[in-house]
Amino acid sequence: MNATFTLLEMRRITRDWSGMFFTAVLPAFFYLIFGATVDAKGESIGNGNVAMYVMISMAAYGAVTATTSIGGQAALERQQGWGRQLGLTPLPDSSYIAMKALIAMTVAAVPILLTYALGVATGARGTASAWLLSGLLCLVGSAVFAVYGLLIGTAFRSEAAVGATSGTMVIFAFLGNLFIPLSGVLLTIAKFTPLYGYAALARYPLTEGYLTDGSQDPLWVPVLNVVAWLTVFGLGAVHFVRRGRERQ
Amino acid sequence: MHTTPSPTADSSGEPAIELRDLVKTFQPLRGSTDTVVTAVDGIDLTVGHGEVVAFLGPNGAGKTTTLDMVLGLTEPTSGTARVFGRPPRSAVIGGHVSAVLQTGGLLRDLTMRETVRMIASTYAATAPVDEVIDRAGLAALSGRRVSKCSGGEQQRLRFALALLPDPRLLVLDEPTAGMDVTARHEFWQTMHADASAGRTVLFATHYLEEADAFAHRIVLVAGGRVVADGPTAEIRSRASGRTVTAVVSDDAAAPATAALLRLPGVTDVKRRGERLVVTASDSDAVARLLLGELGGRDLEITTAGLEEAFMALTGRSPGEPSAGSPPDGIPARRGAVPAEVVR
């Protein structure tokens, strides 16, 4: 780990104010609309209430938006020659990845903290362990989507594609049961989409797997979803990174 | 026909660069109809300490791929590359070799100073950041974003980054591609001032005049192979010969042609308008004869360009359509440029 390098990277990324604003503020705004101001916000769910359920979902959405964009940008930077420039220095790939991961996690923590702070202020209630564990799961699980960003960045090699990934995150969020509670066939389909497992896992300390339609996911469902998608993203990224290394 | 100057070695006995039968092939993308591309096709090269060597060749000759293997950015398909007797990556980690790559490769939203600090932080020890920025002439620009700097300024930044570890070997891959004439001139001036003190330099270029002005030794590559290797002056004279032209009156033309063809080293005599065009290795003798007993006047001596050099050395044209058409309107020495007008 290299503190100077990490801090300079961090300063550079946070310099993009508009990007940071939407990453941090949009999920908090969504929480206020869908969570803090709805009538049912005080109704209890598992180890807390509805407001907390919405808060965790929105924090998760914010965190993956952040990590996806950082993963995608990292891929683009490397292809645009920065990877070759770094290849001329003693910096090993592993510490580059570690630093990028640290930065992605730090940026992902911003929407989580902001949304959770708003939650505290606007009536989200839950047990201490539900607060702590759900926050940690939001943060750690968001790393999966840094790999997704990396995959898109290496596969399509364009700023537009990386920009469009934030659009795909909105779709995944709907399909993943983050924005509105799904039921029936849609819910069944949702269980196979990338954000479902991550969001369900982040809410697990609160819901213990119970869904809004009364059914319960056993723990292995979200875990399997996360592992499967991490594998897909990981293998895809490795494939495209290898292909990208061959100069044509 | 290759003369390889015997490279000097330092006390460790290891040359700065040693390439043995280096080969690099690229597999076509799956599903494409391309065949396997052989970018580097068996290059042998030894560069001794303190040598300044130009790696001269047209686009697509395999220059960048070879340099990538010298820098450990690409693994050879077969053969070996050693830098100061060790694997390239280990030489990079030790700070013994550094490079200025072609355009691209900087983060646009960092400032100049932040870029230097960032790269400096990857080394165990470097010269002080401000000193490096000063030396590269970037002090006034240090707070400016890379994206707001000109191509020449960005290249000076890359040069500053390359000098951070004070490398014993500096590799430059077409360092002036895309620069205008003034920026190129300034870049080479900086190079002369800073990289002359015993540093080994290997630079790729497709400008013959850059190789001529800066290198002690030219390694000419085409089609992934070394086609000639020797001291700069020798390669140039062997590459081109010279073209001598003079105005000769019509009735004197035929006997003059016959007389010229009898001179040793004259390979070709043509009539072009009112001029006789003579291709020869010994331009002095031709000039003397033309101006003297043949009564020629208005004499010009020119040296051939890179394309002619390839033709002369390899018996074929550089081949690729890109050859000889450098980017951004910088004229390469195509055709003849007057070198000197005799007496």
Phi, psi of A17 (to 5 degrees): -65, -40
Q: Minimal Cα distance from B115: which residue of A?
A: A8
B204 forms bridges with which residues in the sheet? B55, B173
**A133, containing H or E segment:** helix A128-141
Regarding predicted confidence, which is higher, B17 or B8? Answer: B17
> A105 with A145: CB under 8 angstroms?
no
Q: Are B220 and B229 in contact (CB under 8 A)?
A: yes
The 3-state DSSP class for residue A51 equals: helix
- Annotate A95-112 with DSSP letters as a single string: HHHHHHHHHHHHHHHHHH
Residues B146, B107: contact at Cβ < 8 Å? yes
pLDDT for the residue B219:
92
pLDDT of residue B257: 87
Position B324 confidence tier, pLDDT thresholds 50, 70, 90: very low
Question: What pLDDT digit, counting tens, does each position of B240-255 carry?
Answer: 567 888 888 888 888 8
CA distance B232 to B267: 22
Hey, what long-range contacts does A96-99 have (CB within 8 A, 24 or more apart)? A98/A1, A99/A1, A99/A2, A99/A5, A99/A6, A99/A9
Of residues A85 and B340, the one with the higher pLDDT is A85
Residue type, A230: L
Q: How far apart are CA A60 and CA A203, in angstroms?
A: 9
Q: How far is CA A64 from each of CA A8, A137, A247, rounded to the nearest angstrom?
A: 23, 12, 32
Distance CA A50, CA A31 (A): 11
Q: What pLDDT, on the 0 to 100 scale, is given for residue A244?
A: 62
And the tokens for A84?
A: 């070759």
Strand order in the sheet with B37-47: B37-47, B17-26, B78-83
pLDDT of residue B6: 44
pLDDT at residue B86 tops 80: yes
Which CATH entry fits the domain spanning B240-340: 1.10.3470, 3.30.360, 1.10.40, 3.30.70? 3.30.70
Are residues A6 and A103 in contact, defined by beta-carbon separation less than 8 angstroms? yes
**Contact pairs from chain A to chain B, CB under 8 Å:** 76
Q: What separation in angstroms does the CA of B301 have from each of A14, B233, B263, B271?
A: 61, 16, 17, 16
Which class for A60: exposed (0-12), middle (13-18), buried (19 or more C-beta within 10 A)?
A: buried
Measure CA B272 to chain center.
33
User: In CATH, what class is B17-237?
Assistant: alpha beta
Q: Decide if A88 and B98 are in contact by the 8 Å CB cutoff.
A: yes
**Interval A100-131: pLDDT, tens:** 888 999 999 999 999 999 999 998 999 999 99
pLDDT for position B265? 78
The pLDDT-based confidence of B126 (bands split at 50, 70, 90) is confident
Q: Could you tell me which residues of chain B have a Cβ less than 8 Å from any Cβ in chain A?
A: 26-27, 29, 37, 39, 65, 68, 71-74, 92-95, 98-99, 101, 104-107, 109-110, 114, 117-124, 158, 161-162
**pLDDT above 60 (res B328):** no
Note whether A84 contacts B123, CB cutoff 8 Å.
Answer: no
- The distance of B73 to chain A (nearest Cα, Å) reads 6
Pick A37 or B310 by higher pLDDT: A37
Check residue B308 and give its pLDDT: 63
- Give the pLDDT confidence score for residue B313 in this predicted structure: 64
Q: What is the mean pLDDT of residues B299-310?
A: 70
Among A54-58, B185-189, B229-233, B238-242, the range scoring the smallest mean pLDDT is B238-242
The answer to whether residues A124 and A35 touch, using CB atoms and an 8 Å cutoff, is yes
Q: Which residue has the higher pLDDT, A94 or B309?
A: A94
- For the stretch A31-82, pLDDT in tens is 999 888 888 888 888 888 999 999 999 999 999 999 999 999 888 888 888 8
Query: How large is the ipTM?
Result: 0.81
B101–A80 CB contact, under 8 Å: no
- Please give, rounded to a whole number of angstroms, the shortest distance from the CA of A189 to a CA of chain B: 33
Residues of B whose CB is below 8 A from A80: 104-105
Please tell me the distance from the alpha carbon of residue A215 to that of residue B86, in angstroms, as a whole number: 64
pLDDT at residue B48, as a whole number? 92
Sign, CA dihedral A72-A77-A83-A88, equals negative
Residues of B in contact with A86 (CB under 8 A): 122
Instruction: Decide: B267 and B241 in contact? Cβ < 8 Å.
Output: yes
Chain-chain contact of B71 with A89 (C-beta, under 8 angstroms) = no
pLDDT at B135: 82
The answer to whether the beta carbons of residues A35 and A58 sit under 8 Å apart is yes
pLDDT for B194 beyond 80: no
Q: What is the model's pLDDT at position B1? A: 42
Q: Please report the pLDDT score of residue B341 as a whole number.
A: 31
The answer to whether B40 touches B22, Cβ cutoff 8 Å, is: yes
Contacts of B105 in chain A (CB under 8 A): 80-82, 84-85
**In this complex, do A85 and B122 lie within 8 Å of one another by their Cβ atoms?**
no
Query: For chain B, which residues make up each domain, given as ranges?
Result: 17-237, 240-340
Arithmetic mean of pLDDT, A10-16? 86
Distances (CA, A) of A147 to A234, A247, B105, B316: 6, 23, 22, 49
Q: Out of A4, A87, A91, name the one closest to residue B73 (CB).
A: A87
pLDDT > 70 fraction of chain B, expressed in percent and rounded: 79
B305 falls in which pLDDT band (50, 70, 90)? low
Query: How close B104 gets to chain A, by Cα (Å)?
Result: 6
Alpha carbon of A169: minimum distance to chain B alpha carbons (Å) = 26
How far is it, in rounded angstroms, from Cα B101 to Cα A31? 48
CA distance B251 to chain A (A): 58
Q: Mean of the pLDDT values across residues B251-271?
A: 84
For the cut 70, the answer to whether the pLDDT of residue B9 exceeds it is: no
Identify the band that residue B306 occupies on the pLDDT scale cut at 50, 70 and 90. Answer: low
Q: Region B36-60: what's the mean pLDDT?
A: 89
Residue B341 contacts residue B300 (beta carbons within 8 Å): yes
Query: Is residue B5 very low, low, confident or very high in pLDDT (cuts 50, 70, 90)?
Result: very low
pLDDT at B28 over 80: no
C-alpha to C-alpha distance for B88 and B72, rounded to whole angstroms? 5
More confident: B183 or B173 = B173
